[in-house]
């Protein structure tokens, strides 16, 4: 009787790694949302189906086969928002550069670095608005132009200053609603409309601005600052993670890390 050997080559290793990366990115997209419960339920149903097939339970297998046969269509319907985010993530050049270190293949000629003075002006404005409980939503676009979101608001193309930021978000200003988008060292637009993901499960103390910030961070590679109108607290949102009720020095440090490409979440965030 011959011995059976399971061959394992380099191609198999690549296959496993790619599947692991895809599953991890899918997990990050559905983590903290209602879709996570659906994802777990589908995985459990699939495992039950495998066990039933192994035990050769014909009746139960026939019933489960009818569900599995339409599994792809069901997944597309149930996870249409998450699939859209995943495709946006794959198509984002910042994501490719960060994950695969391919920065040299991308043209940086048009990108403008955000200066230290601009970051100080933003932090100064946020601290002042925090003291007066003035609500604000500020998007730092980094190397992204965010053209579609910019076009949803009022174009400004003005240099960043704390006085201008505070005047825009002043409650009697006609442009205080919506988000401000900063590209490089310029306020590109104000009163911009950001995406809202209704499936996000947020703590009661986080309002609509925080929901919009988290939704935006899940779809784009940006950093977002939120100043709460109710409490005056400042929050920093990046890549689906939120740091809530932070001090001005912490905000400045997070902004420096983001603009220098050194962003990371140290420990647990306030909401994963």
Please say whether the beta carbons of 216 and 224 come within 8 A.
yes
What kind of fold does domain 116-259 have according to CATH? YojJ-like (1 (3.40.1700)
pTM above 0.95, yes or no: no
Question: Rounded to whole angstroms, how far apart are CA atoms 106 and 110?
Answer: 11
Question: Rounded to whole angstroms, how far apart are CA atoms 153 and 57?
Answer: 59
Helix (H) or strand (E) holding 107: none
Q: Give me the residue spans of the domains in the chain.
A: 10-91, 116-259
Residue by residue, pLDDT tens for the chain (272 residues) are 445 556 777 888 898 898 888 777 777 666 655 566 777 787 888 888 888 888 888 888 888 887 777 777 777 777 776 676 666 666 655 555 555 544 444 444 345 678 889 999 999 999 999 999 999 999 998 767 777 788 888 999 999 999 999 999 998 888 888 899 999 899 999 999 888 887 777 877 788 899 999 888 887 778 999 999 988 999 999 888 889 889 989 999 999 888 876 444 433 334 33
Question: Rounded to whole angstroms, how far apart are CA atoms 263 and 239?
Answer: 10
Q: 103-127 as b/e, with b when 16 or more CB fall inside 10 Å?
A: eeeeeeeeeeebeeebbebbbbbbb
Please say whether the beta carbons of 268 and 260 come within 8 A.
no
Q: How many CB atoms lie within 10 A of CB 96?
A: 16
């Amino acid at each position: 009787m011959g011995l059976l050997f399971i061959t394992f080559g380099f191609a198999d290793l690549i296959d496993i790694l790619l599947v692991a990366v895809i599953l991890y990115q899918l997990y990050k997209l559905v983590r903290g949302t209602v879709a996570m419960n659906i994802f777990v339920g589908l995985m459990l149903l699939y495992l039950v189906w495998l066990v039933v097939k192994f035990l050769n339970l014909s009746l139960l297998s026939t019933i489960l086969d009818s569900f599995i046969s339409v599994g792809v269509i069901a997944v597309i319907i149930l996870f249409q928002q998450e699939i859209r985010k995943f495709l946006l993530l794959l198509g984002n050049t910042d994501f490719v550069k960060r994950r695969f270190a391919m920065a040299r293949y991308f043209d940086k000629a048009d990108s403008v670095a955000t200066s230290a003075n601009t970051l100080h002006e933003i932090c100064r404005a946020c601290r002042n608005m925090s003291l007066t409980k003035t609500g604000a939503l500020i998007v730092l676009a980094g190397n992204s132009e965010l053209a579609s979101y910019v076009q949803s608001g009022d174009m400004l193309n003005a240099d960043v200053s704390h006085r201008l930021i505070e005047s825009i978000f002043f409650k009697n200003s006609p442009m205080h609603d919506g988000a401000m988008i900063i590209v490089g060292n310029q306020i590109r637009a104000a009163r911009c409309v950001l995406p809202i993901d209704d499936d996000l499960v947020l703590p009661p103390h986080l309002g609509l601005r925080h929901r919009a910030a988290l939704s935006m961070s899940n779809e784009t590679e940006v950093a977002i600052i939120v100043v709460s109108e109710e409490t005056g607290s400042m929050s920093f949102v990046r890549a689906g993670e939120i740091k809530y009720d932070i001090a001005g020095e912490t905000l400045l440090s997070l902004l420096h890390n983001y603009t220098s490409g050194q962003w990371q979440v140290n420990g647990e965030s306030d909401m994963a």
